[in-house]
Amino acid sequence: MIVVLKNNTPKAQVDGFMQKLRERGFEVHVSKGESATVLGLIGDTSKVEPEEMLAYDFVESAQRVKAPYKQVSRSFHPEDTVVSVGGNSVGDGKSVCVMAGPCSVETEEQVVEVAKAVKASGARFLRGGAFKPRTSPYSFQGLGAEGLELLKVARKETGLPIVTELMAINQIELFSDVDIIQIGARNMQNFDLLKEVGKLRNPILLKRGLASTVKEFLMSAEYIMASGNPNVILCERGIRTFDNYTRNCLDLSIVPYLKKETHLPVIIDPSHACGIRWMVPTLAKAAVAVGADGLIIEVHNNPEKALCDGEQSLTPAQFDETMKILAKYAAVEGRTL
Amino acid sequence: MIVVLKNNTPKAQVDGFMQKLRERGFEVHVSKGESATVLGLIGDTSKVEPEEMLAYDFVESAQRVKAPYKQVSRSFHPEDTVVSVGGNSVGDGKSVCVMAGPCSVETEEQVVEVAKAVKASGARFLRGGAFKPRTSPYSFQGLGAEGLELLKVARKETGLPIVTELMAINQIELFSDVDIIQIGARNMQNFDLLKEVGKLRNPILLKRGLASTVKEFLMSAEYIMASGNPNVILCERGIRTFDNYTRNCLDLSIVPYLKKETHLPVIIDPSHACGIRWMVPTLAKAAVAVGADGLIIEVHNNPEKALCDGEQSLTPAQFDETMKILAKYAAVEGRTL
Amino acid sequence: MIVVLKNNTPKAQVDGFMQKLRERGFEVHVSKGESATVLGLIGDTSKVEPEEMLAYDFVESAQRVKAPYKQVSRSFHPEDTVVSVGGNSVGDGKSVCVMAGPCSVETEEQVVEVAKAVKASGARFLRGGAFKPRTSPYSFQGLGAEGLELLKVARKETGLPIVTELMAINQIELFSDVDIIQIGARNMQNFDLLKEVGKLRNPILLKRGLASTVKEFLMSAEYIMASGNPNVILCERGIRTFDNYTRNCLDLSIVPYLKKETHLPVIIDPSHACGIRWMVPTLAKAAVAVGADGLIIEVHNNPEKALCDGEQSLTPAQFDETMKILAKYAAVEGRTL
Amino acid sequence: MIVVLKNNTPKAQVDGFMQKLRERGFEVHVSKGESATVLGLIGDTSKVEPEEMLAYDFVESAQRVKAPYKQVSRSFHPEDTVVSVGGNSVGDGKSVCVMAGPCSVETEEQVVEVAKAVKASGARFLRGGAFKPRTSPYSFQGLGAEGLELLKVARKETGLPIVTELMAINQIELFSDVDIIQIGARNMQNFDLLKEVGKLRNPILLKRGLASTVKEFLMSAEYIMASGNPNVILCERGIRTFDNYTRNCLDLSIVPYLKKETHLPVIIDPSHACGIRWMVPTLAKAAVAVGADGLIIEVHNNPEKALCDGEQSLTPAQFDETMKILAKYAAVEGRTL
């Protein structure tokens, strides 16, 4: 960590401050320049926030040199983490793993029909929401526990492992049999929930918050890993900007950045990012081009009747067509779907 | 709700769509223009999201005319809501209620000393964190249940009611005796938590999320009220923008806007907004000027030794000075602290 | 345009307002709902801003139904605009046109060497900055007129048409012989400059402003077209968000959106977007995947000695390798470079 | 400047890099830590951008310690700059200087009537737009040179000095007699225009760009001062965020920050910030509370008939009432209007 002191800080204060830092276990290097004195702190700075230094009025600024995360870092764990479920791998570098299904689970017929269709087109996981985070208390909140059961029926019918969102600590027991547990964007910094899923061994699909920096995103993954669960999949799903011609802005640059900075698999959710059906296939192609390990795509057998997010759901036929073109893109990189 | 159809939508589709809308209970008005057909939906649109309409490919756009919230709306409840705790009122239009105390509760001595000091300067509530939301799993996470007990000791010593943050459903029982329960910015859309505190009668101080729109903020308050708890205080604490010369950007315009749009009390947290001690008093003055019903300010007896957020904490002496000038600002509007 | 009136607006005011609107040439449709009266304005609303309506205190909100742009709109001009310069076409749907070269023109040797290299790798235009917009008055401001001459030397040597940035009205004469004139992101709403280049016939490469909405971007293109110049190329170069792990956030969703909404060619500048050399090839691939008509990429023969933006410049060898992989991506869509 | 090198950089590369830095005139201090080597550059870093360092692949990151601006900095010029025009001072610390008038100059009657009214209420400058930056080429673009003449008529009638916007280099001659020349938000980084007004001696009112950081804002002021004009007034007028319940978000924290960081006067434009008439007086009060040196407020004698921005203009009566309350706020700080 680099700490810049104000120019006219009395020597006694500088010395006292350095003494305190040494007592906290840091080695301290000093560079005295014409306009500022710069201290370099060497040691384990992961427990110190740069902002803490600003509690001292003579500190001008403080910045980390080393990332504040450890276990998620590629420098800590150089090999790619591969999350494997029922023979399907996410992050193996050879495949682009597609998860597909309806935004909300509605009926057994619906979820089984969609599951069969997406499997036929090459999807490797069935996604579907049972507990739904909705901006309005008056909107459909999902079927809850019953929805989970319907997903399991569809899993039994098709063999597809299931991915579904967990919203609260007190629902965790219901999720023991879920193949991949999703933590949604709005809960990315629900730290108690992160700690709890960190105690499980089910793979966790962690979505980036709407306005979360990459550093915050990785710190949330670190919460899960620090609690003991190494099976984390990162998912970009669009961020909030000043414009709204799409619902969110899909930040595709994060894929190459994360693949370099961390060893965890990275997938893209084009459906929630744009929120418009016709744009989903185009963004999915770009996700493959930037090196995503997978995609999570909404598919509904009757989008106009969907209880949630129908506007962004592909029909099974559109999904099938999309998968064919995605396979060509994957092939350019020597990958398969 | 206004629904704009694409220009060349076949009449049969328009008719079928209007029929469906009528079946859902809406009265539908049609305006046919040269470039688009516009439908006006009249009825209870609170259960419909404009985005749902986009599931139909012939829908160009859809917008609400009426706000999606009900119980928080001033049009639904014209009188100001006044939240009263132990003789102190928030939102009465006559006082500016100041809540003050340390970011984190650390020791009994610390919290009692700060409580006495802020009381002497005119604070009406003691704030302090027992459960702390921290970006890093390696940072101090608060004293937890023990911290709550220390707050209660300070309450007993000073008579000041206490305000402290609740982070998870499974801690709710511990909070039964807390005077005002705070829901933090990162949990503003933790909908399960909102529903649970909606079942309580303790007043809820709801902080605006870092990148939450006013509409989303009010919908989260609506979650609490819709679950039965009418005692909600709204708190602006700075939003995230493209710049970072202050930690967050204090959005003071929200105060007059919320006072017009809703009947709930609105307070300002200048400490978390700017994250820099010397700027806190200035922003506090502005908060009074825009009509805030209260302020929540961090005060620490030894900021340089604070375990959290020392950089933004006032010393008791600085707080005392701030209160004197705030009283003058309040007086301009005929208010007292 | 839809104008929503407040609920309790007296009938006389509504009538008077409607009368004024009719006098301005609009046909006015009325829908009276329980919570608001909605007026639909039919006619040429391009000269009216929705905000103007808010000057009347009884107006709740106003929204456009029809886009405020005309000439840039695909509904006005359904066929793709193809910009052709010296046998090279941008926007023909069959090729992905690559423009490459150094950020700043520095010496004849440099620009000629880079021009030859990028031509050999398949670039179709030479880009290079002579007049440079720099945040600091103390940074290198470009060679100016001399830089333009060096670009022309490189053009003569290689046959590559040149693309370079114009920053001010009083430099226009110097640019008469420039093949494509670039208007930079910071000048996207320099309306006087837009009007002036609108009087030329040289193709204009208009870059999106750092925080400009798509609507504003298209309105700036409309300024150029409304002044008489139909040869406009739109360029996305990254937007400003709350994060800064890359210099800007490349907003790739804009490509399919613009291709649908407008008939103008759309290209991507991955170099300025990310500001990091190693990420440029990855983003370039994604640009091809989303359907960009071209790319503008920085290449420098000695990035470490570049006077500007060396951190984002590819070496000629890296550019060559990038072009080979881009050709494969283009082939998936049946295009060539 | 602090330059962090990657952990495993070979010693020969580090040595070569340090040699180059010394050749550019810097003294270089080295701190070798466990995870990185940190170089401290001492000397005049104003001509070097931290990003330049990233052209070297072994550089991890680079940050400034010292601000990149000089002449605008309070450390360079400790006393407040006071801009005086015709007996009215901006930035003297004793007064809050109010500039008022219509968004657009429309007719002689209009501008003279408004000028007389705002003078009677205590305004010290007349503001009014002759050349108008409009998003759409089809919107009213201002009366241009004729508008300037009308402003001068109003100045003659009332004695109020005038403030009006300059949009392009080729209009400068027309502005020689303008008391304060405004550079609008969209031209904040029109560097050629900044250089030209830097050659004048008329005071320049520089508005912050919609999405400009404080650093960029100050660098633009530095452009003007570096060209020779020391009379710069900084104006915050709202920034662009993710929300749009007000047109822009008035960033009031910038006032105390700028007053500390620079010696230049700082004023607030509440009218453009919120874009809603009824909120203007409230924000104006807050501007006084945070220590602004002045305000620029839109006033129109008939807002509903304004050709531009009528929705945010106060009537003369509303302005008069606002001035009375602002005087009370100024008095709290020992200031007058």
Instruction: Work out the angle between the directed axes of helices C108-121 and C145-158 (0-180°, nearest 10).
Output: 40
Q: Would you state the pLDDT for residue B42?
A: 82
Q: Would you state the pLDDT for residue A191?
A: 97
Q: Does C118 lie in the same domain as C40? A: no
Least confident piece of the model among B63-72, B118-127, B186-195, C178-187? B63-72
Chains with 3 or more CB pairs under 8 A to chain D:
A, B, C
3-state secondary structure of B153: helix
User: At C304, is the pLDDT very low, low, confident or very high (cuts 50, 70, 90)?
Assistant: confident
- What is the rounded distance in angstroms from the CA atom of residue A181 to the CA atom of residue A204? 5
Is D219 in contact with C136 (Cβ distance < 8 A)?
yes
Specify which residues B27 forms β-bridges with. Answer: B42
Q: Is C317 on the interface with B (CB under 8 A)?
A: no
Q: Does A168 lie in the same domain as A23? A: no
Q: CA of B277, closest CA in chain A: separation in Å? A: 8
- The answer to whether residue C155 sits within a structural domain is yes
Report the pLDDT averaged over residues C55-78.
89
Give the residue with greater pLDDT, B39 vs C223. Answer: C223
**ipTM of this predicted structure:** 0.94
Q: Is B63 on the interface with D (CB under 8 A)?
A: no
Give the residue with greater pLDDT, C19 vs A99. Answer: A99
Q: Does A254 lie in the same domain as A204? A: yes
D78 contact partners, CB below 8 Å, separation of at least 6: D263
Of A85, A36, A334, A326, which is closest to residue A204 (Cα–Cα)? A85
- Which CATH number is B211's domain given? 3.20.20.70
- The answer to whether residue C95 sits within a structural domain is yes
Please, what is the average pLDDT of chain B? 94
Side-chain-facing half-sphere of B139: CA atoms under 13 Å = 23
Q: CA of D327, closest CA in chain B: separation in Å? A: 10
Q: Is A120 on the interface with B (CB under 8 A)?
A: no
Confidence check: pLDDT of A33 > 80: no
Report the pLDDT averaged over residues C252-267.
98
Judge whether D128 and D117 are in contact, CB under 8 Å.
no
The residue whose two tokens read 């003789």 is B87
Is A192 in contact with B168 (Cβ distance < 8 A)?
yes
Q: Is B137 on the interface with A (CB under 8 A)?
A: yes
Q: Would you state the pLDDT for residue C94?
A: 96
Report the pLDDT averaged over residues A248-264.
98
- The answer to whether residue B72 sits within a structural domain is no
Q: Does A260 lie in the same domain as A154? A: yes
Q: Would you state the pLDDT for residue A279?
A: 97
Confidence check: pLDDT of A209 > 90: yes
Q: Would you state the pLDDT for residue C50?
A: 87
- The answer to whether residue C72 sits within a structural domain is no
Q: Does A102 lie in the same domain as A23? A: no
Q: How do residues B205-245 score in pLDDT, each as one tens digit?
A: 999 999 999 999 999 999 999 999 999 999 999 999 999 99
Q: Would you state the pLDDT for residue A125?
A: 98
User: At B66, is the pLDDT very low, low, confident or very high (cuts 50, 70, 90)?
Assistant: confident
Q: Domain residues for B54?
A: 2-63
Q: Does D91 lie in the same domain as D54? A: no
* Interface mutation target, options C1, C18, C42, C65, chain B, most CBs of B under 10 Å: C65
Q: Is B167 on the interface with A (CB under 8 A)?
A: yes
D244 contact partners, CB below 8 Å, separation of at least 6: none
The residue whose two tokens read 């025009």 is D85
Is D65 in contact with A211 (Cβ distance < 8 A)?
no
Confidence check: pLDDT of B60 > 80: yes
Q: Does B127 lie in the same domain as B216? A: yes
Report the pLDDT averaged over residues D93-100.
97
Q: Which helix (H) or strand (E) holds B16?
A: helix B11-23
Confidence check: pLDDT of D36 > 80: no
Q: Would you state the pLDDT for residue C106?
A: 95
Strand order in the sheet with A2-5: A27-32, A37-42, A2-5, A59-63
Q: Does A43 lie in the same domain as A7? A: yes
Q: Does A172 lie in the same domain as A95? A: yes
Q: CA of B289, closest CA in chain D: separation in Å? A: 5
Q: Is C187 on the interface with D (CB under 8 A)?
A: yes
Among C30, C63, C96, the domain boundary falls at: C63
Q: Would you state the pLDDT for residue B277?
A: 94
Sign of CA dihedral A258, A260, A262, A267: positive
Least confident piece of the model among A24-33, C113-122, C256-265? A24-33
B16 contact partners, CB below 8 Å, separation of at least 6: none
Give the nearest partner residue to B38 out of C36, C40, C43, using CB atoms.
C40
User: At B63, is the pLDDT very low, low, confident or very high (cuts 50, 70, 90)?
Assistant: confident
Domain count, chain D: 2
- The answer to whether residue A209 sits within a structural domain is yes
The residue whose two tokens read 């008529």 is D153
Report the pLDDT averaged over residues D71-96.
95
Q: Would you state the pLDDT for residue D179?
A: 98
User: At D92, is the pLDDT very low, low, confident or very high (cuts 50, 70, 90)?
Assistant: very high
Q: Does D248 lie in the same domain as D193? A: yes
Size of interface B-C (CB pairs under 8 A): 58
- The DSSP output letter for D142 is -
Q: Which helix (H) or strand (E) holds A197?
A: helix A191-197
- Which CATH number is A42's domain given? 3.30.70.1140
- Exposure class string for B114-138: b at 16+ Cβ within 10 A, else e: bbbbbbebbbbbbbbbbbbbbbbbb
Q: Does B289 lie in the same domain as B180? A: yes
- The answer to whether residue A287 sits within a structural domain is yes
> Using a CB-CB distance cutoff of 8 angstroms, which residues of chain A are in contact with residue C286?
252, 286, 289-290
Q: Would you state the pLDDT for residue A166?
A: 98
Q: How do residues A153-171 score in pLDDT, each as one tens digit?
A: 999 999 999 999 999 999 9
Is D329 in contact with B328 (Cβ distance < 8 A)?
no
Confidence check: pLDDT of A259 > 80: yes
Please, what is the average pLDDT of chain C? 94
Confidence check: pLDDT of C2 > 80: yes
Report the pLDDT averaged over residues B107-125.
98
* Interface mutation target, options A8, A38, A261, chain D, most CBs of D under 10 Å: A38
CB neighbours of residue C144 within 10 Å? 15
Please, what is the average pLDDT of chain D? 94
Q: CA of C188, closest CA in chain B: separation in Å? A: 19
* Tokens matching residue C218: 């298209």
Of B172, B159, B174, which is closest to residue B229 (Cα–Cα)? B172
Q: Does A201 lie in the same domain as A138? A: yes
User: At B256, is the pLDDT very low, low, confident or very high (cuts 50, 70, 90)?
Assistant: very high
Sign of CA dihedral C51, C56, C62, C66: negative
Q: Is A77 on the interface with D (CB under 8 A)?
A: no
Q: Would you state the pLDDT for residue D46?
A: 79
> Using a CB-CB distance cutoff of 8 angstroms, which residues of chain B are in contact with residue C36?
65-66
User: At C38, is the pLDDT very low, low, confident or very high (cuts 50, 70, 90)?
Assistant: confident
Specify which residues A98 forms β-bridges with. Answer: A295
- What is the rounded distance in angstroms from the CA atom of residue A192 to the CA atom of residue A58? 36
Report the pLDDT averaged over residues C205-217.
97
Q: Would you state the pLDDT for residue A24?
A: 86
Chains with 3 or more CB pairs under 8 A to chain A:
B, C, D
- The answer to whether residue A337 sits within a structural domain is no
* Tokens matching residue C36: 């608001």
Report the pLDDT averaged over residues D216-226.
97
CB neighbours of residue C19 within 10 Å? 10
Judge whether C245 and C218 are in contact, CB under 8 Å.
no
- The answer to whether residue C71 sits within a structural domain is no
Q: Would you state the pLDDT for residue B57?
A: 86
